[in-house]
């Protein structure tokens, strides 16, 4: 029913925004004015649902409003102590739904990283001195000496895996935090890390192709998850930067709060993914297992992670919500 949609779509979107602000904090996460607004918007949405059921035959609109009202009702009457259910809900719905809602930022982050990765590869292939420009001084000597540093992880897997996890989480949080500088910081960090990765592979393959193949075999098992998390956190940082630049119909404070909470969900999810990547990098990647096993691990973990983000927690309400956005 187009007239109903046109009259009340802004109210529905605002209710969605408030629901997003409630995730992880409950009603205590809202100001008194926002709590009153939330209650009023909930009552209006319930009324709109009744009208839609009586006067329209649009099942998508009815499903969307029904989902919206149920979510709002649950927030109002839910017990304050949710315990483990909050964690379960985060992984069953909140994380994948937030990723799908903001996938364009992740795609932009991937494009920046990949583009500068290609640039770094070409620049280093033409001139090996480019490695100094991306803070890789000494890498050419390491390649020439055939120093497979990653094999040392086999000597102390637990220590190595823990150090790798910590480093990876720091890198992704940095990419996220830099996004606060109007998104420019995240862009720079993604560009630099992409150029750095492309540069080291170009140096390897130009000096000693066998060394390059060995490095690629080491990276492939954990690299799909690890690199994806860099894109995701960089995209999350861009979300915050863009909210500052263009808050849309909300005030900058409201937009920053909404996108900030969504970005935080992505960063928390990435921290969990990186535990998996760090475990693989510390135990499987430096092992003497055949390359086919490591390649298969990389492909398998990538398919599982992206399938989870793309498919888990979908419902009819979300599909309509995407259409309304």
Place of tokens 């329209």: 56
What is d(CA 325, CA 323) in angstroms, rounded to the nearest whole number? 6
Place of tokens 């973990």: 301
pLDDT number for residue 20:
79
Query: How many Cα neighbours within 13 Å face the side chain of 224?
Result: 17
Is 103 in contact with 76 (CB distance < 8 Å)?
no
pLDDT number for residue 54:
78
pLDDT in tens, 42-90: 888 888 888 888 777 778 888 888 888 888 887 776 644 455 677 888 8
Q: What is the dihedral of CA 70, 75, 76, 80, to 10 degrees?
A: 140
Tell which residue, 266, 218, 217, 214, has the closest CA to residue 238. Answer: 266
Percent of all residues in the chain with a pLDDT value above 90, rounded to a whole number: 24
**SS3 state at 3:** helix
DSSP state, residue 137? T
Distance of CA 28 to the CA centre of its chain: 26
Give the list of residues 6+ apart from residue 91 with CB closer than 8 angstroms, or none: 269
**Would you say the pTM of this structure is higher than 0.95?**
no
pLDDT in tens, 100-147: 999 999 999 999 999 999 999 999 999 999 999 888 888 888 888 877
Residues of the chain with pLDDT under 70: 1-5, 23-29, 77-84, 148-169, 179-180, 182, 315-325
What is d(CA 234, CA 239) in angstroms, rounded to the nearest whole number? 9
What is d(CA 210, CA 207) in angstroms, rounded to the nearest whole number? 9
Give the list of residues 6+ apart from residue 311 with CB closer than 8 angstroms, or none: 96
pLDDT number for residue 150:
60
What is d(CA 25, CA 35) in angstroms, rounded to the nearest whole number? 13
Where does residue 290 rank: exposed (0-12), middle (13-18), buried (19+ CB within 10 A)?
Answer: exposed
pLDDT number for residue 105:
92
């Amino acid at each position: 029913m187009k007239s109903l949609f046109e009259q009340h779509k802004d109210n529905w979107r605002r209710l969605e925004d408030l629901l997003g602000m409630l995730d992880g904090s409950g009603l205590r996460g809202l100001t008194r004015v926002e709590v009153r607004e939330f209650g009023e918007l909930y009552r209006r949405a319930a009324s709109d649902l009744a009208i839609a059921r009586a006067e329209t035959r649009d099942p998508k609109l009815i499903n969307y409003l029904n989902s919206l009202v149920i979510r709002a009702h649950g927030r109002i009457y839910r017990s304050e102590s949710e315990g483990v259910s909050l964690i379960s809900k985060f992984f069953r719905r909140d994380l994948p739904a937030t990723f799908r809602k903001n996938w364009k930022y992740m795609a932009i982050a991937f494009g920046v990283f990949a583009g500068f990765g290609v640039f770094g590869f070409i620049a280093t292939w033409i001139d090996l001195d480019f490695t100094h420009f991306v803070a890789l001084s000494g890498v050419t000597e390491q390649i020439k000496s055939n120093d497979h540093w990653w094999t040392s992880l086999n000597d102390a897997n637990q220590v190595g895996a823990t150090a790798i996890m910590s480093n990876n989480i720091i890198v992704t949080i940095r990419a996220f935090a830099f996004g606060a500088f109007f998104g420019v910081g995240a862009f720079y960090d993604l560009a630099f890390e992409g150029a750095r990765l492309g540069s080291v592979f170009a140096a390897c393959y130009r000096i000693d192709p066998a060394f390059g193949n060995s490095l690629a075999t080491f990276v492939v098992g954990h690299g799909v998850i690890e690199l994806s998390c860099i894109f995701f956190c960089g995209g999350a940082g861009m979300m915050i930067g863009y909210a500052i630049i263009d808050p849309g119909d909300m005030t900058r404070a409201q937009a920053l709060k909404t996108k900030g909470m969504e970005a935080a969900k992505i960063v928390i999810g990435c921290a969990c993914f990186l535990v998996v990547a760090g475990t693989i990098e510390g135990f499987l990647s430096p092992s003497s297992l055949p390359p086919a096993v490591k390649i298969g691990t990389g492909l398998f973990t990538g398919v599982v992670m992206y399938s989870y983000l793309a498919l888990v927690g979908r419902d009819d309400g979300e599909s309509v919500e995407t259409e309304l956005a």
